[in-house]
Amino acid sequence: MKNILDLLVEQPIFAELNPKQMSVIATHCHIKTFQKDEIIFNEGEVGDALYYIMDGIVKVLKRVGEGHNIVVAKILPGHFVGEMALLDRTCRSASVQATEETTTLMIETSHFDAILKSDAQVAFLLMRSIAKIISDQLRQTTMKLATTQLVID
């Protein structure tokens, strides 16, 4: 099994970081593997970590009514789930479940805060990478919404 630093080097989100900066990140990350159908986190829980999908697929489930969930997205490797926990510290807006065995790189909010305090340049590069991913997700969501609106009209 590769160590965390070797895994970080392979992930596009960390492409702007040099080896020393990656080692700072590596000390604050954990590899966590989820089995098929395992819940990563539930809607309404207090967010305490971000999960970067390295291998596998997860689905995002939104509660609509009593006991009913709909799949609102499937997240592939190279993307995050739970990033809002690092940014606004509110309750989870959706549930996330592994659809197959899924390997994630987990950064807990307390560790993320430690990165922000310890190395401003690493924090900036990491936040910029997260912002790019969130921006891309927002563009995709906007396109899906526009397409759905065309069907409705």
List per-residue pLDDT tens for the chain, 153 residues long.
467 888 788 777 788 888 888 888 888 889 999 999 999 999 999 999 999 899 999 999 999 988 799 999 999 998 889 988 777 888 999 999 999 999 999 999 999 888 888 888 888 888 888 888 889 888 988 998 899 888 887
Query: Which CATH number fits the domain that encloses residue 63?
Result: 2.60.120.10
Beta strands in 6-117 (DSSP E): 30-34, 39-41, 49-55, 58-63, 69-75, 80-81, 95-98, 102-108
The domain in which residue 15 lies consists of: 4-152
The predicted model scores a pTM of: 0.80
Please count the structural domains in the chain: 1
d(CA 74, CA 14) in angstroms, rounded, equals 22
